[in-house]
Every structure is written in structure tokens, then in C-alpha cells.
Amino acid sequence: MEIFLIRVLQFILAISLLVLLHEGGHFFFAKLFGVRVDKFYIFFDWKFSLFKFKPKNSDTEYGIGWLPLGGYCKIAGMIDESFDTEQMKQPVQNYEFRAKPAWQRLLIMIGGVLVNFLLALFIYGQILFWWGDTYIPVKDMTLGMKFNQEAKSYGFKDGDILIGTETHAFKDFSADLYRDISEAHRVDIIRDGKPMSITLPGELNLLNMMKADPSFVRPLLPAKVDSVLPETPAAKIGLQKGDEIVALNDKPVDSYNEFVDLLGRRADMLAVAETSADSMKARTVTLVIKHQTSVDTVNTVLTPDLKLGFTVQSVVGLYKPVTREYGFLESIPAGIKYGFHVLASYVDDLKYIFSAEGAKSLGGFGAIGSLFPPMWDWYMFWKMTAFLSIILAFMNILPIPALDGGHVLFLLYEMITRRKPSETFMIRAEYVGFGILILLMVVANLNDILRALGYM
């Protein structure tokens, strides 16, 4: 429960900050051009608000709504998500959005996106300045990688040390490594101390690579015990630090990765178990354990969730990270470069959304909240906030009615053709766009629910 609350708090804080600054971008340009802002809200205040106030001699009501689906800046004389059609029936006033020239209205509409994008670049720069860039170079992972069957069909072998592609060297083990491999025609490796290359088609499906179970490639971890959890099957059979699992049910175990994969197959047995005897059979395993001076064979019953109860050294424990530090002036261009890289990678990955697996990968508030760490970590908080900010900027600029990008599209049409879309058309487009957004939100959050229930 504590972990859940910490994640919720981080999520709400990040979203509140992003919504405040996004709507603040619209607010700034509206005020700059003398456009009246009727309401400025964080979250939606449908039916009622949690808090509101209106300063003396101000036209703007400020508040906090109860529905955390975003926020809004209600600009006078504009067709937006408030669907205030009565105001549009009145004579045009010089303080209204519709009374201003198209270029001013365009700046008002892109103000939120501009602020979110610049905010992301600023945060990335500050992260590099305060924390630097810490990572474990892939070439230093001397135990190599563990590959699935698809990867092995292309010529990879367990233990291969990844070096790079025909275009550049790998940096660290992250989504970028998967992306580089998916686009590569050649991957350079070291196998048994000798450099060699693997030929690839250059168009592997990135989503399938990452979602496969086991995934396309993972750092190889020895099946050597680092710690034993108390009152677990591992503790009951006397497993000790330094012991190594070398076989499971007569099947050789060459790594912790292999051990986890073999347990995963037993999960399939457990899923179809019809009786308690079937369940006990799926949970009962025979282990061959290599101690410092001997080898033992033991039988044990795994926990109901098929855990033995021990941990191994993580990648961070096996290899020494390196840190590149940045001065303040260095961090600015580095943060900009990193931000553009994040945006380009995100845009490139959008093509997978239009596939069946991609649609299943859509996530709502639960999926976003789970990206935050289970304990308060300012580094990860700001990194996630910057990521959400850059995604919010991109999503809002899409040419969908009800989003900023939809308004921008109609304004560009007006500026090019010198013809303004009718208010009736704009209102209908707003309804259509709003319906699309609601549908996407329902699908994304339904996916979260189905994943939580184990159906996806």
C-alpha cells in the first residue's frame, strides 16, 4: 500500500506541474495579446471544484477541479472543450480570441506545447548537470548476453558480448539497444574472445523483440546465490550465499536467466492445473546445487507463485558503472540533444500502435503511474516528468480536433486560404475530437485493468 501511495503521489505531482505549465503557456500568450481568460484550472471541474478563487479586479477564475484528466484555460471567444456555444452567439468583442489576427491565435494555441517541450529540455539538462550520466557500457558486460530462440536463429549465442552496429557502438543496455539491433544490418560482437559480426535484415519488429517472453536479449546473470530470503523454500533446503543452481528437473541451468525461463514453463503447468495434486506437481522441483566443495541434489516445493526465495547479483552488482559529469554550460546542449533523441525515438515507435500488439500495449493512468519508482527518488521523478512533458507536447500537437494541434491545423488552413472555418464546423469537429480522446482513454485504461486481472 505504501508503494502504491508513493507512486500515486509522484504521478499527481508530475501531472499537476505539467498541466499547470502547459495551461500557463496558453495563458501567457493570451494575456500578451490582450485576450481575456475566463477560467484557469488544474484538473477538470465538471459539476464542482475542490478549490477556486477570483482575485479582485480580475476577469479570471483560478481553481482546482476534482477530475484529474488534465486541465484547461478557458479563453474568451474560443471554441474549446467547454463547448460554450452561448458565448459564440454574442457579438465579437475586441478582447476575445476570435477577434485577434490568425498569427496571434496560432501563438496562443501552441503556447502550451512550447512550454512543455522547453520544460523537458530544461529538466534533461538539469539532470545531467546535477547527477551526470551514469551507465554500464555494454562492451564491459564481460559475461555477455542471454538470447531467446529468435535471436539465436539470426546467429547470436549465449555469452556473446555486444559491441555495436555498422553505424555506431552500443552505449548501455536500454531500449535504445533494442532499437539499434532492430534497425541494424550488422551487429559486431565478441565471442570466446574473438571479434565477429552477425548479419541482420535491418527491419526487426522492435515491439515483438521487447515483449517476447523471454525477450530478444538480456544481460546474462550467473545462477549464483547472493542472498537467501528467510522462511522460503531456499532457506528450508539450506541454500547459502555462493551456491550455484546448475540444473532444474534434469535440465542444465547455465544462468539465472535460464533458471527463470524454466520456472516460467512450470507456470504454464500451474495455470492448467485442475486439482491440488496437479498444482503440487507443478510446484515440486528437483535442483542440483553446486556448493564450494560439493554438489547436492535436493527436492523442494516452490511457493504458490513459483518462487524459490533467493536473489542473485544484479547487473549493477556485477559491473562497475561509469559516470560522465557535465558543467552547467555543457548540460544545456547535452540536455537538448537528449530531449530530441527521446522525442525521435517515441515518434519512431508510434508505428507499432497500429498493430494488434501495439494496441494492447497502450496504457492509461495505471501504466503511467507504474513507471515511477516504488520509493521517492528525485532523479527518477524528474526524468519521468521530463519524459511525460515531451510526450504531452507531442500528443497535444497532433492534428486532432479538441487538441491544440487540431486548432493549429484549422488556423493554418485559415492563414493559407484566407477563409475561416465556420463556427458550426468547429463545434462539430470539437465534439468528434473529444469523442476520439475519450475512446482512446477508455481503451488505454481498460488495458490497465485487463493487465491487472491477468488477461493481457
* 49 touches 65 (CB < 8 A): yes
Q: Which of 10, 4, 2, 6 is nearest to 384 (CA)?
A: 10
Separation in Å, CA 273 to CA 249, 250, 283, 286, 371: 19, 22, 11, 19, 33
DSSP codes joined into one string, 276-339: HHHHHHHHEEEEEEE-SS-EEEEEEE--TT----EE---HHHHS--EEE---HHHHHHHHHHHH
Q: What is the pLDDT of residue 156?
A: 98
Q: How many CA atoms lie within 13 A of 214 on its CB side?
A: 22
**Alpha-carbon gap, residue 435 to 105, rounded angstroms:** 24
* 191 touches 209 (CB < 8 A): no
Q: Which of 126, 125, 27, 91 is nearest to 336 (CA)?
A: 125
Q: What is the pLDDT of residue 84?
A: 62
**Alpha-carbon gap, residue 21 to 179, rounded angstroms:** 32
**Alpha-carbon gap, residue 401 to 426, rounded angstroms:** 8
* 396 touches 110 (CB < 8 A): no
Q: Is 187 exposed, middle or buried (0-12, 13-18, 19+ CB in 10 A)?
A: buried
Residues in the chain: 456
* 263 touches 282 (CB < 8 A): no
SS3 29: helix
Distance of CA 349 to the CA centre of its chain: 12
The amino acid that residue 236 corresponds to is: K
* 79 touches 407 (CB < 8 A): no
SS3 73: strand
Contacts 24+ apart (CB under 8 A), 278-284: 282/306
Q: What is the pLDDT of residue 217?
A: 97
**Alpha-carbon gap, residue 197 to 262, rounded angstroms:** 30
Instruction: For residue 145, list its beta bridge partners.
Output: 219
pLDDT in tens, the chain (456 residues): 678 888 889 988 999 999 999 999 999 999 999 999 999 999 888 888 898 999 988 989 999 998 877 888 999 988 766 656 667 778 888 999 989 999 999 999 999 999 999 999 999 999 999 999 999 999 999 999 999 999 999 999 999 999 999 999 999 999 999 999 999 999 999 999 999 999 999 999 998 898 888 999 999 999 999 999 999 999 999 999 999 999 999 899 999 999 999 998 888 888 888 898 889 998 999 999 999 889 999 999 999 989 999 999 999 999 999 999 999 999 999 999 999 999 999 888 877 777 666 666 667 777 777 778 888 889 999 999 999 999 999 999 988 887 899 889 999 999 999 888 887 888 788 878 878 877 877 777 777 677 666 665
Q: Compute the CA torsion angle 13, 19, 21, 27 (nearest 10 deg).
A: -150
SS3 195: strand
